[in-house]
Amino acid sequence: MKKATLVILIFLCFTTFILICGCTEQNNNGGKTGKTITMTAKEFFYDQETIQELNNTTINFKSLNDGDTLVIRDTIFKISYEYIEGVINKTIVIFVWDEGNESDSMFFEFEGNITGSYFNGEQVKITVKIKRVSFSYQGVPHDMELYEEQWVDEEYFNTYRYKPLPRSCISKI
């Protein structure tokens, strides 16, 4: 009886410890752990850091690392669909934080036409994973943090740059 009570007590202590301390979120990225950070488009825009040198380009996020999950929560300023058969099939979602100055903006591209599901003035969240890649573009080494969902490979980047995000990355709040 004492052994059973001791086992239950140890189990309860361990469970309480886990609940108090929290667990590290496990991302599906090869076992790397990461955190989830929520930002507005403006906060994310200012979190980006680009260092362009003659022989190297580095793009990093100040608050994010490889394996982290980024959630952008903001209001759509403008949404539009671009289509050219066999070439372009994407929706552009623009966030603006100073409506008097539309250059204070950030955009995201999504696969296909989602303009029937999302509208100007609607609050949405965009969820992506951060990925670090190193490659050569036009003979210049690049070390970049970007969205895992938009990266295909070096060859794709050299031809098309980034792939539009899947529709599953955006949802209504």
How far apart CA 109 and CA 62 sit, in angstroms, is: 22
Q: What are phi and psi of 84, to 5 degrees?
A: -135, 115
Domain presence at residue 141: yes
Domain presence at residue 8: no
- The domain that holds 49 is classified in CATH as 2.40.50
**Domain limits at 38?**
25-172
> Residue 135's closest CA among 79, 73, 84, 59?
59
How far apart CA 98 and CA 77 sit, in angstroms, is: 10
Domain presence at residue 20: no
Domain presence at residue 4: no
Domain presence at residue 13: no
* Structure confidence at residue 32 (pLDDT): 57
* Structure confidence at residue 7 (pLDDT): 33
pLDDT under 50: residue ranges of the chain: 1, 3-29
Domain presence at residue 18: no
Domain presence at residue 113: yes
pLDDT tens digits along 56-100: 999 999 999 999 999 999 999 999 999 999 889 999 999 999 877
CA 36 to chain centre: 10
* Structure confidence at residue 128 (pLDDT): 98
Domain presence at residue 6: no
- pTM for the predicted model, two decimal places: 0.77
Number of domains in the chain: 1
